[in-house]
Amino acid sequence: MHYCLVSPSRLIPTEEVDPDRVNELEAQILGAGSWTTPITVEKNALFVMDGHHRLTVAHRLGFAVVPVLLLDYGAVRVESWRKGETITPADIFAMARSGRKFPCKTTRHIFDRALPACDVPLALLRGYGLAEAMPARAVGE
């Protein structure tokens, strides 16, 4: 499984974010000096499955690209973090098309296998050296 580099502006968020978590994550990413967890995205519609907070950080920091894993619901189950609520892929597709967002921590995506990490220097994400970045490979491959 490989990640690719995609402009954050192409990705469609489907959940609100917790501003405090965004601040924490931004400090963590800047402190590390590299991006270590790809954002998981539905491969055809490009909506975010997991990584809404990371996407918000990418927008804040003005990154030209971010590491993304392109997946589909054949390899991903979805449920709600909220007791008594049921979420289906169709619900998420509808939300993505509507331009609205679920409240923070509504959808929980469960991946059928462990997702790879990455180690992409932040300078590259800002737009430097993109020619050298393609194709990207996950850490450990």
- List, for residues 33-55, the tens digit of each pLDDT value: 999 999 999 999 999 999 999 99
Mean pLDDT of the chain: 88
Q: Is residue 125 part of a domain?
A: yes
Q: Is residue 119 part of a domain?
A: yes
Q: Is residue 60 part of a domain?
A: yes
Number of domains making up the chain: 1
Q: Is residue 89 part of a domain?
A: no
pLDDT digits (tens, 9 = 90+) for 80-118: 888 888 999 999 989 888 989 999 999 999 998 888 999
pLDDT value for 91: 92
Q: Is residue 87 part of a domain?
A: no
Q: Is residue 99 part of a domain?
A: no
Q: Is residue 63 part of a domain?
A: yes
Whether residue 135 has pLDDT greater than 50: no
Whether residue 129 has pLDDT greater than 70: no
Q: Is residue 109 part of a domain?
A: no
Give, rounded to a whole angstrom, the gap between the first and last alpha carbons of the chain: 9
Burial 97-130 (b: 16+ CB within 10 A, else e): eeeebbeeebbebeeeeeebebebeeebbeeeee
The answer to whether 5 and 58 have CB atoms below 8 angstroms apart is: no
State how far the Cα of 112 lies from the Cα of 86, in Å rounded to an integer: 19
pLDDT value for 134: 47
Give me the CATH number covering residue 51. 3.90.1530.10
Domain that holds residue 33: 4-72+115-133
- Cβ-based neighbours of 60, under 8 Å, separated by 6 or more: 22, 26
